[in-house]
Amino acid sequence: MGKAARLRPARLGEKLLQIREALGFSQNGLIRRLELPEAISREHVSAFELGKREPPLPVLLQYARAAGVTIDVLVDDKTDLPKKLPAGNRKARKKGDQETEEG
């Protein structure tokens, strides 16, 4: 028996990019916001956004929490992200992230 390729969400990378941009973070800023500096790098975030790599489930959960959505919204290609993501989830940002604290 051959191993069939696992089904992958076609729009996941697009949605992860939308989340980062809607929250106004650089890739490094997002890593700090997700509180995952030991788990992922900027290169990982780039690969996630380009659809070259899928984030591990704990990372996906952090993305969902940051966006104020459930994981199924991220992985279901038939479901769009909300037009407006909650800004109240933002935390203070370090200099160089372009943004200031909101919320």
Domain assignment present for 5: no
What is the per-residue pLDDT for 2? 67
DSSP 21: H
pLDDT value at 66 more than 50: yes
Give the DSSP letter string of 43-87.
HHHHHHHTTSSPPPHHHHHHHHHHHT--HHHHH-TT-PPPSS--G
Domain assignment present for 16: yes
Q: 84-102 pLDDT, tens per residue?
A: 887 544 444 444 444 433 3
- Which range marks the domain in which residue 64 is found? 12-78
Q: Are 101 and 90 in contact (CB under 8 A)?
A: yes
Domain assignment present for 59: yes
* Residue 70: CATH number of its domain: 1.10.260.40
Domain count, the chain: 1
pTM value? 0.80
